[in-house]
Amino acid sequence: MCAMTHITKGANTPVPAVPLRVAVGRRDIPGAPVVDASALLLDAAGKVRGDADLVFYNQPAHPSGAVRHTGAAQGDGQLVEWLDVDLPRVEPAVQRVLVAGSCDGGVFGQVPGLYVQALTADGAVVAHYAVTDASSETAFVLGEFYRRNGMWKFRAVGQGYASGLAGLATDFGIAVDEPAPAPAPAPMAPAPVAPAPAPPVSPTAAPRDAVPMQDAVPHSFGPEFHPSTQRGRGNGIVSVDAPLPPGPVIVEAWHEGDGYFGMHTLTRRNKDDDLLYNSTLRDFRGRALVLPPEDRPLRMRVEADHDWTVIVQPLSVARRVGTAPLQGYGPEVLAWLGTAADLDVDFAGDEDGGGYFGLKSLEARYVTSPDEYDLLINDTDPLRQTVPLTDGPLVLLLEADGHWQLTARPLPVLDGPAAQAAGAWTGRGDKTITLANPAPGRPALLEYSFTDSDSFGSYRVQALDEYDDEEEFLNGRRHGSRGRTVLFRKGEPEVRLRLEDPGDWSLRLLPIEQVPPLTGAAEGRGSTVFRYDGPPALLGLSRTTSDSESLETRSLQADGEMRISADSVGRRRPTVGPLWVARPGYCYVHVFAASEETGWRIETADLASVPVLDRRVEGQGYGVVRHTGPEAEVMIKHEPRGMLDLVVLWELDERLEPVRRISTASGLQRVPSGYLQIRTSGKWSIALHDRA
């Protein structure tokens, strides 16, 4: 049977092929929105085979008997809706069973402690996923059971929908009474293959009278100038001989009919430089961002099978992305002028059901350095995704082999006092701030994000006492640019933090109840925190990615004391450390990763698995051993990994608290009876010393 496992968004874990009970739950808080659980049975194409493949409260059983909605339960401060998923009875044609939820009377960002959990008949938890990033969604795909190599696995999906259960169901092939958004947006210019919103001029209807698109948004991205238009047929050269003002321009191109259309900028030596277009789309129309040379005319080479038009225009003509759906066909240059938002992206694919879609975000201040972009999407085949946009103005560079649609959903913007009252602080540059504890006497969960730090040594956050003495709280080299940690670790009513070289930063306080439980094993990326309730144990740490960034685990006790458990010291070798649990019976387990892309797995193990020092024990990296005899003399040997690598030996008490540092060197040492921790990155051995 699979060990009970806590996983984070995007992770997966094997589950046994047995009947399972699935709980969709939340904390029982008066006034919170109601969550209704549902399940969808999908075939190999990712669609339902009919309406019967949706199981919910109004259709509580699947015809096969494999999935049933068994009602709701209340107790222990929780509200739970239950689904029974009998994996052995799932029909062979069904490849995935989605577990979803819909929200009645609010949005999922208002649902406290949302989670999905799968259990066996005897109550063993085989998968647990806590949702921590919900916002304005009214429906959610929480997770999915799926077949892989003859086995069943469970994946934490965490995909939200603002269109409710109807929109979610439509996405997977169920016809509902309410119309759903069309998955294939119309093109922005007329074409024989599909209708489109009528622009001021049609390239296919009147290519010789072409003028730039008129739905542009005026914005001071750069100087204005009169557009330059050139036309031709077949291969040709476009040369803009009139002087262009400094800064990037938009090069718009139209090509009539079928066939190939390609375009490069040319170097001073008249050789191909940057590829602008490479398309076989029918009646192609696209836009690209180009930085003209400062000391010579902008020249471009065209490869075409039919008539073409090229228009060089100011960047101010970029179409604006807004809250209304913006549709297009092919590559485009767009502008985002709003505040931070989530961008819903729909790409219908090319005529063969495949095709490429890419989306880059470029801050307006970097328009003269086009390589300073953030890559938001780089994918093939039809897709529906949501990506984050930072505060504008931004230039969005879109590449697409077919129809697309973009819709922005701005995040709520509060003024300074209101934002801080809601537990959110944002800013740029060095600052000292005071954070008030929303629940004095208790800790809180802190989400942090630091971007665009100008410091080579990365950002630093210092906690200040009443005398302005500093204690390091966060450091980009150890804690990464974004993550989660515990603040008010001793229940302080307020904490002062000094932010140094942070770039753009944001801090957000969340209830400590949103810390997910560590119930056995957990996987994830970057820095985060779990709550562990249980006896002292071992805590294993291993990487799931090939990087060598800093990665460590630490335990935080109820009284605010934090101690290191294990450190991978830049290696992929698994390591293990003590999970110290003080008298209250719980602690917070921190995973600190220097990169948000560093993948990891942690897992608790019983103390019975600790190696016993009988005659000799050896290992590499952090480890724990147990000496069952009386105080004795031991020989410690160590092969350092680098000049600064020491072997540090600690005495642990019965609750695995480090209570005494025994030594920092190899050689003969006296050790007490009990647990010992070894801290090093090199190879080590401990052997009982016999003077006879």
Q: Which of 413-417, 544-548, 675-679 has the lowest mean pLDDT?
A: 413-417
- The listed range with the strongest mean pLDDT (43-47, 566-570, 603-607) is 603-607
State mean pLDDT over 371-391: 88
Mind listing the pLDDT tens digit for each residue in 35-90? 999 999 999 888 999 888 999 888 899 989 899 998 888 777 788 999 999 999 99
Q: Is pLDDT of 213 > 70?
A: no
All structural domains of the chain with their residue ranges: 5-171, 209-317, 319-410, 416-607, 611-688
Q: What is the mean pLDDT of the chain?
A: 85
Q: How confident is the model at residue 421 (pLDDT cuts 50, 70, 90)?
A: low
Strand bridging mode 575-579 / 562-567 = unpaired
Q: Which of 132-136, 383-387, 653-657 has the lowest mean pLDDT?
A: 132-136
- What is the per-residue pLDDT for 318? 87
Q: Which of 229-233, 422-426, 465-469, 588-592 has the lowest mean pLDDT?
A: 422-426
- What is the per-residue pLDDT for 1? 34
Q: Collect all residues with Cβ–Cβ distance below 8 Å to 265 and sequence separation of at least 6.
A: 272, 273, 274, 276, 290, 298, 299, 300
- What is the per-residue pLDDT for 453? 58
Strand bridging mode 537-543 / 599-605 = antiparallel
- What is the per-residue pLDDT for 473? 96
Structure tokens at 289: 């961002």
The C-alpha atoms of residue 584 and residue 525 are separated, in whole angstroms, by 29
Q: What fold, for 319-410? A: Jelly Rolls (2.60.120)
The C-alpha atoms of residue 254 and residue 260 are separated, in whole angstroms, by 12
- What is the per-residue pLDDT for 412? 63
Exposed, middle or buried: residue 199 (CB in 10 Å: 0-12, 13-18, 19+)?
middle
Task: Quote the pTM value.
Answer: 0.47
Task: Count Cα neighbours of 595 within 13 Å in the Cβ-side half-sphere.
Answer: 12
The C-alpha atoms of residue 562 and residue 486 are separated, in whole angstroms, by 11
Find where tokens 């006492």 sit.
Answer: 465
The C-alpha atoms of residue 495 and residue 97 are separated, in whole angstroms, by 46
Phi first, then psi: what are they for 454, rounded to 5°? -85, 0
Q: Is pLDDT of 227 > 90?
A: no
Q: Is pLDDT of 417 > 70?
A: no
The C-alpha atoms of residue 61 and residue 66 are separated, in whole angstroms, by 8
Domain 5-171 has CATH 3.90.79.10: no
Mind listing the pLDDT tens digit for each residue in 323-333? 888 888 899 99
Q: Which of 88-92, 254-258, 536-540 has the lowest mean pLDDT?
A: 254-258
The C-alpha atoms of residue 639 and residue 681 are separated, in whole angstroms, by 9
SS3 label, residue 276: strand
State mean pLDDT over 126-146: 89
Query: What architecture is domain 416-607?
Result: Sandwich (2.60)
- What is the per-residue pLDDT for 353? 84
Structure tokens at 674: 């009990």
- What is the per-residue pLDDT for 308? 92
Q: Which of 132-136, 146-150, 544-548 has the lowest mean pLDDT?
A: 132-136
Structure tokens at 321: 């992305």
State mean pLDDT over 510-533: 91
- What is the per-residue pLDDT for 198? 28
The C-alpha atoms of residue 108 and residue 114 are separated, in whole angstroms, by 8
Specify the CATH class of 209-317 in words. mainly beta
- Domains 5-171 and 611-688 agree in fold: no
Residue type at position 655: R
Q: Which residues of 81-112 are buried (b: 16+ CB within 10 A; e: fewer)?
A: bbbbbbbeebeeebbbbbbbbbbeeebbbbbe
Q: How confident is the model at residue 215 (pLDDT cuts 50, 70, 90)?
A: very low
Pinpoint the alpha helices (H) of 375-485.
416-421, 476-479
Between 302 and 113, residue with greater pLDDT: 302
State mean pLDDT over 359-376: 83
Assess contact for 487 and 432: CB atoms under 8 A. no
Q: What fold, for 611-688? A: Jelly Rolls (2.60.120)
- What is the per-residue pLDDT for 162? 76
- What is the per-residue pLDDT for 419? 56
- What is the per-residue pLDDT for 204? 29
- What is the per-residue pLDDT for 220? 58
Exposed, middle or buried: residue 214 (CB in 10 Å: 0-12, 13-18, 19+)?
exposed
- What is the per-residue pLDDT for 317? 84
Structure tokens at 686: 């401990």
- What is the per-residue pLDDT for 630? 94
